[in-house]
């Protein structure tokens, strides 16, 4: 009988130490989870930032293209050869440039 009691006592002690260990681990896991969330957020942010930059660049490019097209239709060269000079009739290089853009 005493042997059985002793065995139970030992199991109780082991369980207690296991519980203690689990209790110690809980804040650690919590910290890890928090860090994971933080890191995930950090990882996804540049992607979004890149998307934002690309969208902005495309917008600027579109505006720039519109501006160049308007400049051309107002009668000025937009090709690098004569940029800003008055047009005398259409220019193949301006049209090629606007088409490529």
Partner 1 sequence: MKIFCSKDSLISGVNAVQRAVSVKNTLPVLSGILISAEKQSLRFAATDLELGIRCEIPAQIEEEGTIVVPAKLFAEVVRKLPDTMITIKEENLAITIYYYQSEITLRGYDPEEYPLLPDLIDPMSYTIPTLIFKNMIRQTIFSCAVEENRPVFNGTLMQIEGSNLRLVATDTHRLAYSISEVENPKNASFNGIIPAKTLAEIYRLLKDEDESIQISFNKTQVVFQFGLIYLVSRLIDGMFPNYKQVIPQTCETKINLSVKNFLEAVERASLLSHDKSGANIIRIKVESTQLKIDQTTELGKISEQIEVTTQGNDVMIAFNAKFLIDALKVIDTDQIIFELSGPYSPGVMRPLDNPNYLYLVLPVRIS
- The residues that touch partner 1, with contacts defined as CB under 8 A, are 79-82, 89-93, 95-97, 99-100
> Based on CB atoms, which residue is closest to partner 1, 53 or 81?
81
Q: Where are the alpha helices (DSSP H) in 1-101?
A: 2-73, 92-100
CB 92 within 8 Å of CB 77: no
Tokens (6 digits) for 62: 């579109």
**Nearest CA among 60, 90, 63, 64 for reference residue 77:** 90
As measured in angstroms, the least distance from the Cβ of 98 to partner 1 is 11
Question: Nearest approach, Cβ of 75 to partner 1 (angstroms)?
Answer: 11
- In terms of CB distance, is 48 or 100 closer to partner 1? 100
Residue 56 beta carbon to partner 1: minimum distance, rounded to whole angstroms: 27
């Amino acid at each position: 009988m005493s042997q059985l009691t002793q065995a139970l006592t030992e199991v109780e002690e082991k369980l207690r130490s296991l519980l203690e260990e689990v209790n110690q681990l809980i804040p650690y896991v919590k910290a890890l989870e928090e860090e994971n969330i933080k890191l995930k957020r950090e990882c996804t942010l540049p992607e979004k930032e890149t998307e934002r930059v690309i969208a902005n660049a495309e917008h600027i490019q579109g505006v720039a293209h519109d501006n160049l097209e308007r400049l051309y239709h107002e009668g000025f060269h937009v090709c690098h050869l004569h940029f800003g000079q008055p047009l005398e009739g259409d220019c193949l290089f301006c049209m090629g440039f606007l088409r490529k853009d």
